[in-house]
Amino acid sequence: MILELDSRLIVVFDRRYSLSEFRLASRVAPGSYADELVDRIHDCLFKYPRDVYSEYEKYYAIEYPDFAEFLYWKYRVNKNVARKIKDRIVNGAYVGYGRDSIGMFGDETFASVLKRILSELGEKDESTS
């Protein structure tokens, strides 16, 4: 799941996928422009975002006993979506927050590309939005 909040980004996946497995599933030629793009997309989704749940546990758990409430008040995530994210945390999902979106995540074609890659990586919830 990718939520674009203006130029900020909340990403929710089963886990943080490594660059090597993301690259492997992408099947692009090493050293090519597409390879470089794959690196950048990976960094944007899995490398640079900070771990929101760790942040919550470390600094905010007392102030916000409920993780979904925290997502709503701190990141302005819609309450229904916040509850879904909270449900996924039970299974150890990775919730990341990034400041820089690449501006292409809302595109249907891009969403289908990412969905296919994540599916190959075994992601259970492949929704990208």
Partner 1 sequence: MKVRVDFVTNSSTTSFVIITTGDFKRDEFFELMGVSEQSPWLPLFDALYYSLQEKMYPVEEYVNRYGTATGNWFESLQNKFADEVFERIVEAQRTGRKVFVGKLSSDSNLIESFFCVDSFEVENGKIYFNALECVW
Q: How far is the CB of 16 from partner 1 (least distance, A)?
A: 19
The reply to whether 81 sits near partner 1 by the rule CB under 8 A is no
Q: Are 98 and 7 contacting, i.e. CB atoms less than 8 angstroms apart?
A: no
Q: How far is the CB of 7 from partner 1 (least distance, A)?
A: 13
The reply to whether 31 sits near partner 1 by the rule CB under 8 A is yes
With a CB cutoff of 8 Å and minimum separation 6, the contacts of 87 are none
The nearer residue to partner 1, 79 or 124, going by C-beta atoms, is: 124
The reply to whether 62 sits near partner 1 by the rule CB under 8 A is no
Q: Are 35 and 23 contacting, i.e. CB atoms less than 8 angstroms apart?
A: yes
d(CA 122, CA 100): 26
Q: How far is the CB of 77 from partner 1 (least distance, A)?
A: 22
The reply to whether 27 sits near partner 1 by the rule CB under 8 A is yes
Distances (CA, A) of 113 to 44, 54, 116: 15, 29, 5
The reply to whether 124 sits near partner 1 by the rule CB under 8 A is no
The reply to whether 6 sits near partner 1 by the rule CB under 8 A is no
Nearest to residue 5, comparing CAs of 86, 109, 75, 71?
Answer: 75
State the residues that interact with partner 1 by CB under 8 A. Answer: 25-35, 37-38, 102-104, 106-107, 109-110, 112-113, 116-117, 120
